[in-house]
């Protein structure tokens, strides 16, 4: 029997709470594997080595066994892995040197699984933005990272570039960079458009601060290079903008929703189409994603929405502004669910959210039925509460 906790609220009160929801169990895996009618990637987090003797804000120590085990878990649920992305703290604790290690470890694990769908972020984060950085420098940086991913036998997610956002003087610079890189890739890539709410350094991407005008440039580049593009991931937290862009893409190009606020309706789609998924929240709600996608493949939209609807408030809370700190909530839920033995992150990012935020996350995770073992989750939540004097 799970004991009650005493959780703080935003108003300052501390109130009793008892987890009451039965954990959601993913459907038993069919003999031939899951057969979804959407491509679904979970952008996966990394597990740090909390016992390393280091400077946690500065050093990079990753628990490779637990990190790769979590990818195995996602594959076991029929989800793909979007590797070395912002959910793995790329650019916020995970530098390119660390990303290369992560890519090598993940690709080694993927080779042993015929069901392992995986793609890797390639960007320019080893190139420090600055007044002396040229467009040719940006191209060279992209080429280096793409070559590394392809050299490992991996597929590329072409990440948005802080250096390009700083160096570009017009939309023409984006056209030049993307045309050059897409002309060289071996296999079709996923284009990544990450909004400034996720990374303020990407404000004005595609050459305009106006998303509508930026979309004109992005769509033109994508459709011109459609043969080299598997899809585009858009993370603007706007269902309306995603739908507009989705309807303008070349029919061969997939839309991968990165909208952690509106993913349920976007994946379900409408009479004119639907989005696939490449989502950080799928790391945190993997069993619900699995169960919902299985229902969608059976054309049971009511069941699909019934499963995902309770996860949307949880996701909106995890991704609330400042959105770039969403990784803290993702890792906290992994800790509550037993995927790691501690609540520590690269760069000390576990401190990026308040105890009120984490307490509300616990409540919402219970409602969403994504606490795998409520007793364990309650025990671990109490350990975190004790650090702020709530016992």
pLDDT of res. 1: 52
Nearest to 26 by CA among 82, 69, 70, 79: 79
Q: Name the stretches of the chain with pLDDT < 50.
A: none
Amino acid 31: pLDDT: 83
Q: How many CB atoms lie within 10 A of CB 183?
A: 9
Q: What is the CATH number of domain 33-344?
A: 3.20.20.70
pLDDT at 275: 98
Check if the beta carbon of residue 371 is closer than 8 Å to that of residue 337: yes
Q: What is the pLDDT of residue 364?
A: 98
pLDDT at 25: 86
Evaluate the omega torsion of the peptide bond into residue 383 and state whether it is cis, within 30 degrees of 0.
no
What was the pLDDT predicted at 58? Answer: 83
> Could you tell me the residue ranges of all domains in the chain?
33-344
**Cα separation, 14 vs 159, whole angstroms:** 42
The predicted structure's pLDDT at residue 28: 84
pLDDT of residue 12: 82
């Amino acid at each position: 029997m799970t004991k009650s906790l005493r959780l703080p609220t935003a108003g300052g009160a501390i109130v009793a709470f008892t987890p009451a929801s039965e954990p959601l169990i993913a459907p038993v895996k069919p003999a031939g594997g899951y057969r979804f009618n959407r491509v679904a990637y979970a952008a996966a987090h990394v597990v740090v080595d909390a016992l390393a003797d280091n400077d946690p804000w500065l050093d990079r120590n990753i628990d490779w066994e637990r990190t790769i085990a979590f990818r195995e878990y996602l594959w076991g649920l029929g989800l793909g892995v979007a590797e070395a992305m912002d959910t793995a703290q790329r650019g916020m604790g995970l530098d390119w040197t660390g990303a290369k290690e992560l890519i090598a470890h993940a690709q080694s694990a993927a080779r042993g699984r015929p069901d392992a769908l995986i793609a890797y972020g390639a960007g320019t984060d080893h190139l420090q933005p600055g007044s002396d950085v040229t467009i040719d420098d940006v191209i060279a940086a992209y080429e280096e990272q793409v070559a590394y991913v392809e050299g490992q036998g991996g597929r590329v997610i072409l990440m948005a570039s802080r250096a390009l956002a700083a160096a570009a003087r017009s939309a023409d610079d984006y056209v030049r960079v993307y045309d050059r890189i897409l002309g060289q890739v071996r296999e079709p890539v996923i284009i990544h458009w990450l909004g400034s709410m996720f990374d303020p350094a990407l404000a004005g991407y595609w050459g305009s601060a106006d998303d509508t005008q930026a979309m004109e440039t992005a769509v033109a580049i994508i459709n011109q290079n459609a043969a080299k593009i598997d899809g585009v991931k858009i993370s603007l937290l706007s269902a309306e903008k995603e739908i507009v862009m989705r309807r303008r893409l070349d029919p061969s190009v997939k839309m991968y929703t990165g909208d952690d606020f509106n993913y349920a309706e976007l994946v379900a789609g409408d009479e004119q189409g639907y989005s696939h998924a490449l989502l950080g929240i799928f790391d945190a709600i993997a069993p619900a994603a699995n169960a919902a996608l299985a229902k969608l493949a059976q054309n049971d939209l009511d069941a699909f929405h019934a499963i995902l609807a309770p996860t949307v408030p949880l996701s909106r809370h995890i991704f609330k502004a400042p959105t770039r700190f969403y990784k803290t909530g993702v890792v906290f839920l992994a800790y509550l669910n037993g995927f790691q033995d501690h609540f520590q992150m690269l760069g000390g990012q576990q401190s990026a959210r308040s105890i009120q935020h984490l307490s509300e996350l616990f409540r919402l995770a219970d409602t969403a039925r994504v606490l795998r073992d409520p007793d364990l989750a309650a025990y671990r939540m109490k350990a975190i509460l004790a650090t702020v004097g709530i016992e």
